[in-house]
Amino acid sequence: MKWKCTFTLLLVISLTFASIEFTFQPLKAQGEESSVDTPYVICKKTELMEIRYAPTGDLLEKSVSVHIEIYNNGSSPVSLKVIDRVASINSSTLTVLYGTPEPTKTLKNFGNLTKLIWENVTVDGGKTVRYRYTAESLRKIPIEVNTTLLVNGKPAYINESSGIYSVNANLSDTIGFQLKIKNVQQPLYTSYNRTAVQPLLCTTSLALSNDYFSGIRTSPKANSTTALAGKTVMTWITFLGNETQTLNASASVTGVGAWGAVTLDPITIQISSSSETLKSYFENMISSLNYTIELMEGFAASSGELSTQTSEMAQALEEIANVTSELGNTTALVQTLWGIGKALNVTDQTLELAQNCILLANASLTAFINTPETQDFLSNNSDLGVYLYSVMANISTAYWLINMTRYGNKTIPGLVQLSAMAYKAAQAVNSTGTVLRENVTDSLREIEGGLFAIAISATQTKIGLEQSLSDLKSERTTLTDVLLTLDSEAILPFDPEIKHIETGNCTLTPTVKKIDNKWSITAVNVTNPANYSKIVYGVKLKLETSESLNPSVEVIVDRSWQTPKDMEWLGITYNSTSKTFYLLPRIKIEPNSTVNVLVDWLGRPLRIILDCEEKPVTVDVDTADLQEGIEVEAVEAQFSCSIVQPQLIMNFTAPPPPPVANVTQAKSLAEILMEYLQKPEAQIAVLLVIAVIAVVAGVSKKRKMERTKRLSAEKGEIETLLKEIDEAKKILEEENPPD
């Protein structure tokens, strides 16, 4: 199976890359606090390629932004020459930013490579100089993006007017997003006409406002879903090989913005080629496959031996069964049966060990498949997943075939039963001292049939495992090829070159000779005469001839020359008009040494075969100095794509009324009072007043009740006194009657 690898690692990768402007922290060298008399320069470069697409898929913008920072860790000023190399730009659009001086020179050389040179750059001690520039990029985009906006499952019609995009929709419609991403980098040649694509790690983000959308669904499931600033942000992390990856998301429209429109945020895609992380990931994958393959190879070999041994024992028993009537020496028969029983026991023990190996292989493969990294990887590489699950199924089948071989079933005896039968027949013959032909023959025939059945089963098991092994080995080869591509630096920008002294150029010695009556360039030796290292970034071979060349390129692999169908698979570009070859080997040459720079992307020697009579060659190289006292950190490469999304114009939805001006009006007494009563201190004062009133009312009521009782008592006393007066009056009248 030709696995089309997509690289999905997974490890900790930033989900948000820098925007056009980068924020750098000042570079500090170790030991900065100590006094440094010798100038020590540290340089860092970041290169960002930004691509913007319209909702229709049209390319809106493709630019490259570069930020170079140079820090002088010394105490004295230093004068430098700064050289930067950038691939495939439109130099007429070059714009320097934020006070960066114009380059002293801008050179277009080595095909699509542009060199920017700043001379006499002074950096004071302990200070930092920053250079920024941007330009239109002509570089091939490493990915191909295709996006489709869906309304209720159907592709939406996108209106465009003066660069503004819109789509008509209704409230409660389901809006869908379908994104297809493909790695379109140049395949790289590995060996025997096999190629592999360098994997990329792709981070895709889609944000939907919670004010306008609900019921969000994703397929495949997003690696993370977070809430941020009133929005739901979905993020997928995928490995990109040469298979198209499809991401889907959908949501229902539940709200409308101002004037009946809903604004959609752009979909963002960030690309990274973290080679060290991916190398570790693929090395672990290959190691796990190697372990599983070794266990399965051991079991397949055991199955083959089992088939051979049981078949030979069955043939021997068949011959014995055919001549049981002629046997006169029962001792030999008993020994033979005992030997067969013992051999079957040993075979059973061997199969028990094989079963344990199968369990280990199955556990290893299951653990490998169930890791989060592998699950992410398999979700983007369905073919590999099918093969791995097929292998697991074959392993399980092999386990149960062995189990049946050992213990049998209702119709076929297993090794355990056959061993018991052989021992039983041997005991019967040994105890009687005679051969009972019919009984012994039947037993031998039964054992013979069981052994043949086991032999056939073992053969089938071996054949099934060999097919699975072949598939796994093919996948291992493909993964190994992909691992090799991580050594390619084709996608990486060039490190800046910083130097404080000028030295002589390297010397070139091309080797041109005839091979099979054809001129061949077999080497380009570059000698570095300086006392510091140099890097060869570019090699240009211009062939001075009026003849037609019809060139071909060969590479040495496994000690033999191979001819790929396309020389670009080797990292070579040929301009047939100017008859010029371009290579970007990025080879480091140590001081006072010579290196052959005519190599492919993996550093393997090349030779260029020419179909011409003359001996044509003119060689030029582009070298960068690695001078002492200057440290250049590895360049940081970033790729950022954004797909502009249209506005949703809602049908059958009246626009909301325009906002009312905030006019201050005089407040009424009641409004002021109600507003005052909302304050905590006012509420406490009111409660205190109510409490005082309640206390006063209670005291008044008590006093009133006491006065009422007192008045009632006084009224009773008065009434009693009046009665007493009346009685006294009556007595007086009786004692003194009227005359």
pLDDT digits 0-9 by tens, 240-288: 887 889 999 999 999 887 778 888 999 999 997 667 777 887 887 788 7
| Percent of the chain with pLDDT strictly greater than 70 | 73
Interacting residues of 403 by C-beta distance below 8 A, sequence separation 6+: 355
Residues 366-375: contacts with CB within 8 Å, 24+ apart? 366/392, 367/288, 368/285, 368/288, 368/289, 368/292, 372/10, 373/8, 373/9, 373/10, 373/281, 374/285
What are the pLDDT digits (tens) for 83-140?
999 999 999 999 999 889 999 988 877 788 999 999 999 999 999 999 999 999 999 9
In this structure, the number of other CB atoms found within 10 A of the CB of residue 322 comes to: 12
Domains in the chain with CATH codes: 143-275+646-650 (2.60.40.1170), 277-485 (1.20.120), 502-626 (2.60.40.1170)
- What pLDDT score does 215 carry? 94
Task: Determine the pLDDT at residue 300.
Answer: 74
Q: pLDDT tens-digit profile of 140-195?
A: 999 999 999 999 999 999 998 888 899 999 988 999 999 999 999 999 999 998 99
Say if CB 238 and CB 246 are below 8 A apart. Answer: no
pLDDT category of residue 623 using cuts at 50, 70 and 90: confident
pLDDT bucket at 8, cuts 50 / 70 / 90: very low
pLDDT above 70 (res 11): no
- Dist CA 572 CA 602 (whole Å): 12
Say if residues 70 and 111 touch (Cβ distance below 8 Å): no
Handedness of CA 492, 485, 6, 235 (dihedral sign): negative
In 10 A of CB 230, how many CB atoms? 9
What residue spans of 323-381 are helical by DSSP H? 330-370, 372-379
Q: In this predicted structure, which of 191-205, 536-550, 626-640, 697-711 has the lowest mean pLDDT?
A: 697-711
Mean pLDDT over 368-381 rounds to: 68
Flag whether pLDDT at 642 surpasses 60: yes
Residue 9 confidence (pLDDT): 30
pLDDT at 345: 76
Query: What does 557-606 look like in DSSP terms, one character per residue?
Result: ETTEEE--S-GGGGTEEEETTTTEEEE---EEE-TTEEEE--B-TTS-BE
Q: Are 547 and 614 spatial neighbours (Cβ–Cβ below 8 Å)?
A: yes
Residue 493 has pLDDT above 80, yes or no: yes
Cα distance between residue 529 and residue 683, in whole Å: 92
pLDDT of residue 321: 63
Confidence check: pLDDT of 291 > 90 = no
Q: Are strands 636-643 and 41-53 parallel, antiparallel or unpaired?
A: parallel
Tell me the pLDDT tens digit for each residue of 724-736.
Answer: 666 766 776 666 6
- The dihedrals phi and psi of 495, each to the nearest 5 degrees, come to -65, 145
Q: Find where tokens 């060039």 sit.
A: 494
Q: Are 75 and 35 in contact (CB under 8 A)?
A: yes
In 3D, which of 138, 243, 48 has the Cα closest to residue 640? 48
Virtual torsion, Cα 543, 546, 550, 554, nearest 10 deg: -20
